[in-house]
Amino acid sequence: MANAGVKAVGSIADLHARGSNLVIEVLRGSGDFIQWEHYPPDDVRDPQSHAQYYFHAHPPDERDQPDYGHFHLFVGPQGVPASGRHAKVGNLAASASDKDAPSHLIAISMTPAGIPERLFTTNGWVTGETWYRAADVIGMLDRFVIDLDHPSRPLNDWLTAMVVLFRPQIEELLIERDRVVLQWQAEHADTDVFEDRRLEIVSSILISLHNQIEWLDSQLDAS
């Protein structure tokens, strides 16, 4: 986690020295920033790790929280371990959609200045993902590695590092996601919870890169 913190800060500093930031990098060369469009247009997919991501934004009146735009991080179906393919969430089917769809790991909300401000999970219909229980998604986190220059090496390094740096929070959010989904299904037994538009953001937490690194430093000092 400490090494990931160094890499995350280094990536931001590298971009700052070039007069850029994380949001500028993912939007570079795309013209106008259009709501709902994916950036880059065909998403980013690492053929070795099967990790993938895109950046987009919702209309302001459809945002639960302040959010300029956010990254959705996934592991593609080829990267899902065999142990996760038959998983269940309580008495719910493991998948809300096509088994050929990716597994959504986490979303990272960004400010216009390119600073991460929140982590959150979503319901199945939001990303059209294949749904796996939290324990199996947690097992996929190590597979999120984007070792590519496109669209930006510092951006890809930063995203890879963020999954490591905020691993405790991501695990907690995934566990909370399953708890909320099971409770929602129990209270709305006549609906398919994964397709219920009333449930969009399932769990979320505000984050601070500075505070996370300060906390890590204190843990290292204590040890």
Domains of the chain, residue spans: 2-222
Report residue 131 CA to chain centroid gap. 14
Please state, for a pLDDT cut of 70, what percent of the chain lies above it: 87
Contact between 118 and 204 (Cβ < 8 Å) = yes
Q: Which pTM value belongs to this model?
A: 0.91
Listed in sequence order, the residues at least 6 apart from 154 whose beta carbon sits closer than 8 Å to its beta carbon are 11, 12, 14, 15, 22, 25
For 72-98, write each residue's pLDDT tens digit: 999 999 998 876 555 556 555 444 445
Contact between 52 and 80 (Cβ < 8 Å) = no
Contact between 21 and 114 (Cβ < 8 Å) = yes
Closest-CA residue to 130 (of 182, 166, 78): 78
For 2-23, write each residue's pLDDT tens digit: 999 999 999 999 999 999 999 9
For 109-164, write each residue's pLDDT tens digit: 998 888 999 999 999 999 999 999 999 999 999 999 999 999 999 999 999 999 99
